[in-house]
Amino acid sequence: MVGAGLGVWKLMRGVRQLELHRLILALIIFCLLSMAFLAYYVSNSPKIKEAPPLPFSDCGGGGGISPGASTGAAGAGPGVQRAPLFLPSRQGRLRQVKAVDNSRTQPVVLVFVESIYSQLGQEIVAILESSRFHYRTEIAPGKGDMPTLTEHNRGRYTLIIYENVLKYVNLDAWNRDLLDKYCAEYGVGVIGFFKANENSLLSAQLKGFPLFLHSHLGLRDYRINPNAPLLYITKPNQVEQGSLPGDDWTVFQSNHSTYEPVLLASTKSSEVLAHFGPSPLRALHATVVQDLGLHDGIQRVLFGNNLNYWLHKLVFVDAIAYLTGKRLCLSLDRHILVDVDDIFVGKEGTRMKVSDVEALLNTQNKLRALVPNFTFNLGFSGKFYHTGTDEEDRGDDMLLQHRMDFWWFPHMWSHMQPHLFHNVSVLAEQMRLNKIFAQEHGIPTDMGYAVAPHHSGVYPVHSQLYEAWKSVWGIKVTSTEEYPHLRPARYRRGFIHNGIQVLPRQTCGLFTHTIFYNEYPGGSKELDKSIRGGELFLTVLLNPISIFMTHLSNYGNDRLGLYTFESLVKFVQCWTNLKLQTLPPVQLAEKYFQIFPEERDPLWQNPCHDKRHKDIWSKEKTCDRLPKFLVIGPQKTGTTALHSFLSLHPAVTSSFPSTTTFEEIQFFSGANYDNGIDWYMDFFPFPSNVSTDFMFEKSANYFDTEVAPKRAAALLPRAKILAVFINPSDRAYSWYQHQRAHQDPAALNNTFHAVVTAGISAPRDLQALQRRCLHPGIYATHLERWLQHYQPSQLHIVDGALLRSNPALVMEGIQRFLGVTPLFNYTQALMYDDSKGFWCQRVEAGRAKCLGKSKGRKYPEMSSESRAFLAEYYREHNMELLHLLNRLGQPLPSWLRQELQSTSWS
């Protein structure tokens, strides 16, 4: 009985334990299901959307403040009255200031930096480059020679900038006197910066000046002096309220009438600093001062910090303009165009709804009151119309209802990248589908502007895109951020190709993923910083024309596109005198190339040297078809013979012949360059072995064509360069005889002596012939130009006289220079032809295969009179060549040694 009861008890306990396990398991399953359901709900339900940020409401607004949010004590929220700044008038003193006149100087800035890596030096250079001002940097000399400041009674520099003004004031007496005399005589101003460090004294007098510096200060509430003469872009009577960053500011103090404050601030401490003494403005201290030149005749602008603070950059630009007499200065006009790419392309939840379109129209109307003609420019790919939610599709419909209120431009129909299409007709068909969509929906199709998805095919150039654009849309203008490279943005430029004007495009910090203000990368303060004096503000400041790229998603959700540009426009108009306006793309392009005509011609780069470019370049193209070395000339020195000898080498391949210029492509030297690199590469085969095959081309007019070195180095920066030099007198005579053989009237009707001695009153055709005879023989000048773009180790000078007398020896040296393997035996490959008078290729049965009839012509010897004239004409030029070759470590050509010996030069 007891045993039976014990058995029942054990059975019941087991059942209860089993039920407990099942209960725990059920709870675990329930929790997992709850978590899964919650995750699904959170990921698929719409976000609780906060109110979009409000754009800056006035010149002192903090920006990005949500409704009802409190402003700090230092802020200037709605209803806070700005404190105007009134400084005593000093017009009587300003009338004594001499107008800046540095017209006898080159428009080049000389920048003395602490080192090539110094941050302030790089910021100075960045502003100069962004403004397209020419400059030269030098390491600031503590001692030693000052760079040459004059040339042919003209100043080489129109402005001097010192990264560290102490290097300027502490120059040794000789160099300081030299620089000051130069500045006074040529009307050259000086800009200097003083940035306090741990070794700086709290107070000190600037050596040689009636000016005191007080450092290591914390400052607040920055003000602009409206009486400062240098103000041009900067709008005075504004106060930047709040603390300035850091406690290492320097302020200037002087009782001399030559100093005019530009920027002033109060100390953070309420105590008046004793060493400033009594003054009606003792609460304000100058951090930037303008020296009017009343002390020593030299005008200067001195900064008590670096360029980190945005207002310093603005005043720095004005200082450059003032001290150069507006020679280095942009006008006050600024043109902006805001592109909204992919207006129908976007994931559900990121597209525009009816309320967003209403906000777009409302903001456009508000901006038109501030920026004449402001209009959002909408880019479309018709395939994606009505691919959002019902609410978003209604937003698409509303855009089309108001289609005439906007400007429109096409992308591709299906948003495909054009460089993936290798057939023009297929590419054009994609465009026609988009055009049909536009016509069916009443979208204007006559703007003459288009943008390729991801900038594909614009640069690097995909010629099929340009052809299709012109045939389908009649495109005249496009834009890209990729020319010549995406970064740094200040290098972006425009160009014209195949009749289409390509403008530089700018980013504004908004991308497809930046749709919420509070989720902006780095925090919303980063966006506001860009607008309020940061990168976006500087883009407008330093570029007369800016096309900004934005996306559909920037105008839904928090509408960051609207916030950004309304805030930017208001900030620019608060702090500057810039005149903002908008033009349609075709008119904008005309304006751009009026301002920058030098950018009309492109500079083709190697697509394989930029990963972004390679990604948007056709996979059917390869940089392996570009040559490894060039024979650059000059003409009539033996380059054709060198071309034929090189082509005998089994590892060396020449370009295919041209139907018009024979063995020469003449790409870098003339109109063929406009055809683009696709055209150029078609002259070369696909190499069978990239590492061992050496492709080359010979164009003898490259040597003395001014643009050729820059163009060649941009596309072929690693190429090796071969130049052939003979006696320049013989080269000149050979060219004259060449022109006679080609029935040039100027050569037929004039003796050689008459050609080379012709004066400036000679007929134009005679002067042209004279130039082609004499100019290429100024070897040192042309060689120096090539050395500006190529390293000396990439350059090999061929002795043309030795090439004619002993080609095998010359070709052995060339092979070693190029690194071609295996070494080819030219002694066996060449033979001398007595009838021709030069070396030719040895073929079967010991016969010679020589160049054509036009090579090796027999003509009379040059007259002794002409040779004597040319020997004198080239004497100095040959001396320059001697010094240059010695500097480069290149051996002297035999003809040059003979010239030196025969005329007793040493």
Q: Which residues are catalytic?
A: 636
* Angstrom distance (rounded) from CA 510 to CA 556: 13
CA 789, 794, 797 angle in degrees (round to 5)? 105
Q: Which residues contact 276 (CB under 8 A, 6 or more apart)?
A: 214, 253, 282, 285
- Residue pair 546/540 in contact by the 8 Å Cβ criterion: yes
- Residue pair 252/287 in contact by the 8 Å Cβ criterion: yes
Integer CA distances (angstroms), 450 to 4, 170, 405, 554, in order: 94, 57, 18, 20
Read off the tokens for 306: 């670096």
Q: What string of DSSP letters covers 410-466?
A: E--TT---GGG---HHHHHHHHHHHHHHHHHTT----S-B---GGGTTTTTT-HHHH
Q: Which residues contact 688 (CB under 8 A, 6 or more apart)?
A: none
Helix (H, G, I), strand (E, B) or coil at 384: helix
- What is the CB-side half-sphere exposure of residue 839 using CA atoms within 13 A? 24
CA 567, 570, 571 angle in degrees (round to 5)? 85
- Residue 759, judged by CB atoms within 10 A of its CB (0-12, 13-18, 19+), counts as exposed
Helix (H, G, I), strand (E, B) or coil at 105: strand
H-helix segments, 327-423: 354-368, 390-401
CA 151, 153, 159 angle in degrees (round to 5)? 70
* Angstrom distance (rounded) from CA 187 to CA 104: 8
Bridge partners of residue 161, in order along the sequence: 111, 191
Integer CA distances (angstroms), 651 to 518, 520, 622, 648, 837, in order: 62, 56, 19, 9, 28
Integer CA distances (angstroms), 553 to 31, 194, 346, in order: 37, 45, 7
- Residue pair 446/408 in contact by the 8 Å Cβ criterion: no
Phi, psi of 836 (to 5 degrees): -80, -35
One-letter amino acid at 280 equals P
* Angstrom distance (rounded) from CA 159 to CA 827: 60
Strand stretches in 254-405, DSSP E: 259-267, 285-291, 300-303, 333-341, 377-380
* Angstrom distance (rounded) from CA 715 to CA 680: 11
Query: From the CA atom positions of the chain, what is the Rg in Å?
Result: 36
Q: Which residues contact 687 (CB under 8 A, 6 or more apart)?
A: 624, 625, 653, 693, 695
Cis omega (within 30 of 0) on the bond before 822? Answer: yes
Helix (H, G, I), strand (E, B) or coil at 545: strand
- What is the CB-side half-sphere exposure of residue 206 using CA atoms within 13 A? 24
Read off the tokens for 80: 């806070």
Helix (H, G, I), strand (E, B) or coil at 286: strand
Q: How many C-beta atoms lie closer than 10 Å to residue 643's C-beta?
A: 21
Helix (H, G, I), strand (E, B) or coil at 329: coil
One-letter amino acid at 190 equals V
H-helix segments, 193-348: 310-323
* Angstrom distance (rounded) from CA 335 to CA 587: 11
- Residue pair 455/616 in contact by the 8 Å Cβ criterion: yes
What single DSSP character describes residue 152? T
